[in-house]
Amino acid sequence: MNTDHTHDMQPDGLQSAPLATPAPRLRRGGAVMQFVVGFGLIVAAWVFGVVARVAQRQLPPLPPSDVVPPAQFEQLYGEAWDYVNSEFYGDRPAPAAITDGAVEGMVEALDDPWALVATPAAGAQRVGSTDGAVGHGSTSDDPLSPVFVAPLGLWIVETSRGARVLAIVPDGVAAEAGIAAGDLIVRAENGSGTDAIPTPTPAATEKAAADGHDPVTSGDRLPPVAVVLADGTMPDVEVVVARDDTSIFARTLTRSVESAVPDGPGVALDGDVLRIRLAHLMPGAAADLAALLAATGQRQLSSVILDLRDNPGGSRTELAQVAGHFMTGTVWIERARDDEAPIEHPAEAPGDGPSLTAADLIVVVNGGTGDEAEMLAAALREARGARLVGEATFGHGTLQSLREIGRLQLRLTTGTWQSPGGNDIAETGIAPDVVVEGRAEQDAAALSLTTAASKAQAADGGG
């Protein structure tokens, strides 16, 4: 390239001698000029060097004009990627895979405990698509909804860091292994787990090499934790569980044949007391409850006990409908960002069935009461005067939203929710009015409250 610029001066063939003669004259005419030209050529060559390098770089494209990129993104990502592109031994993945990886890495950097990037690659083996293990009510095409893993007796939701345990079935496999709501299952491996290192088999490598694949890329990214958990093909699954970011422990869970099923709503009449058990608020829960309530017939009830223990929530649509059986008005307040006005979400009036808005209401909660179930408990206390019995709830005070971005689905924490009275539930969850531990004790306490408290019903409105 640089030779182009010297071409004018370059003699070719026999003409060299005559052309050369002006040289001394030039020297006489202007050494300065010569110097300037020479220096200019050198600078030009340097610039060409820079341009050639820049043109050769493999950088990510500039962001759209309305996007401010993260600090030094172009520079650092460019440097890293350029080096990998020119030096990396293995096969280059498809550009889409690299972009997806960048999005996943970026989202992980947010440190959002509920975030998830669902890529098409992982989608092929997503939990939602494995039938049988998926609980009642969860929609199979939404990778982001909670999943009930029946053989292990636990509710999980997939996040970028692993599977977050939302609730566990009492006496289930997970419960007996000491896993609790709020734990994060960071790894899960099927099988006996005696061979922890994935040793490549020579035969497989041989074959890959013969197929023209390079031997560096292993091609066996671990499937998402949630997928392994929901996969029921092996009797045992080895899990590594992180609790409160302070302790890590490993357990071997043996899948139960008699799967613990998350019951749908259950309704039982006990004299004047109606007991309602809600195991989750997944799609369909409200309709099931309405049908059950309708079946009890229209009669005057003095007390209702609503059992929300180990209810991980589910859908906010269901929440609004279920709340409608018990109360009117605002159920929860959604707060996106500081600069946006809060949105109040009201209860939805139920079609038919007995009206429970007047009955004395006791709500039983525990550490597995999470998300929409917590919202329900808080709303019933504040807007309905219900009394809460049991243990502090899970404490999921944030709201997540799902977005489709190209081929990716991105779940992010986009705000917080507040109770009708404007209270945040921090990480601590909702403290019950009457603290009782142990399931039987909680049941007894709830019952004693209903009968004993019928006189003092209107005395305190709660929160």
Partner 1 sequence: MRYFLRLTLLFVVALVVLLFAFALGYRSADRLDPALTARLEALVARRADGGAALGARAPDAAANGADSDAASSSPTDPTTTADPAAPTADGLADAGFDTFWSAWKAITDTYGSELPDSKVITYGAIRGSLRALNDPYTLFSDPVDTEIQRPELEGEFSGIGAFVNQNDQGQLVIQTPMRGQPAEKAGIKSGDIVLKVDGRDIAGLETNEAVLLIRGKKGTRVVLTLLREGTPEPFDVGVVRDTIKVPSVNTARLLSEEGAPTVGYIELTVFAQETRDEMRTAIRDLREAGMQALVLDLRNNPGGYLNAAIGVTSEFVESGVVTYREDRAGVRNEERVVPGGTAYDVPLVVLVNGGSASASEIVAGAIRDHDRGVLVGEQTFGKGSVQNVHHLSDGSELRVTVEIWRTPDGSLIHRRGIAPTILVTPPPQPTPLPTPTGATPAPSATPEPTPSPAATAVDGAGSAGDVAAPDDAGAGDAPDADAPPDVQLERAVQEALRLLGAR
Question: What is the rounded distance in angstroms from the CA atom of residue 24 to the CA atom of residue 101?
Answer: 64
Closest CA to 119 of 196, 44, 224, 200: 224
Residue 99 binding partner 1, by CB under 8 A: yes
Whether 128 and 139 have beta carbons less than 8 Å apart is answered as yes
| Candidates 102-110, 263-271, 423-431, 455-463; binding stretch for partner 1 (CB under 8 A) | 102-110
Relative orientation angle of helices 316-324 and 372-384, to the nearest 10 degrees: 30
As measured in angstroms, the least distance from the Cβ of 81 to partner 1 is 7
402 binds partner 1 (CB under 8 A): yes
Residue 410 Cβ, how far from partner 1 at the closest point, in Å?
6
User: Cα(171)–Cα(96) distance, rounded to whole angstroms?
Assistant: 44
Which of these ranges, 10-18, 172-180, 224-232, 296-304, lies near partner 1 under the rule CB under 8 A? 10-18
10 Å Cβ neighbour count for 24? 9
Query: With respect to partner 1, which residue has the nearer C-beta, 125 or 355?
Result: 125
Q: What is the footprint of partner 1 within residues 111-150 (CB under 8 A)?
A: 111-112, 117, 120-121, 123-124, 142, 144-145
Closer to partner 1 by Cβ: residue 317 or 451:
317
- Please report where in the chains the tokens 């499937």 appear, as a residue: 223
Segment 257 to 316, residues that bind partner 1, using CB under 8 A: 315-316
Q: Is 3 one of the binding residues for partner 1 (CB under 8 A)?
A: yes
Residues in the chain: 463
In angstroms, the CA 117 to CA 132 distance is: 24
Shortest Å, Cβ 119 to partner 1: 9
Any idea what DSSP says for residue 342? -
Q: If you compute the radius of gyration of the chain from its CA atoms, what whole number of angstroms results?
A: 33
Distance, CA of 401 to CA of 408 (rounded, Å): 14
Q: Measured between alpha carbons, how far is 318 from 313 in angstroms, rounded to an integer?
A: 9
Nearest residue (CB) to partner 1, 292 versus 402: 402
Nearer to partner 1, 41 or 453 (CB): 41
The contact mask relative to partner 1 for 186-225 (x = CB under 8 A, - = no) is -x-x---xx-xxxxx-x--xx--x----xxxxxxxx----
Rule CB under 8 A: which of 37-96 touch partner 1?
Answer: 38, 41-43, 45-55, 57-81, 83-85, 87-90, 92-96
**Does 336 participate in binding partner 1 (rule CB under 8 A)?**
yes
CA-nearest of 383, 375, 365 to 463 is 383
CB of 57 to partner 1, least distance (A): 7
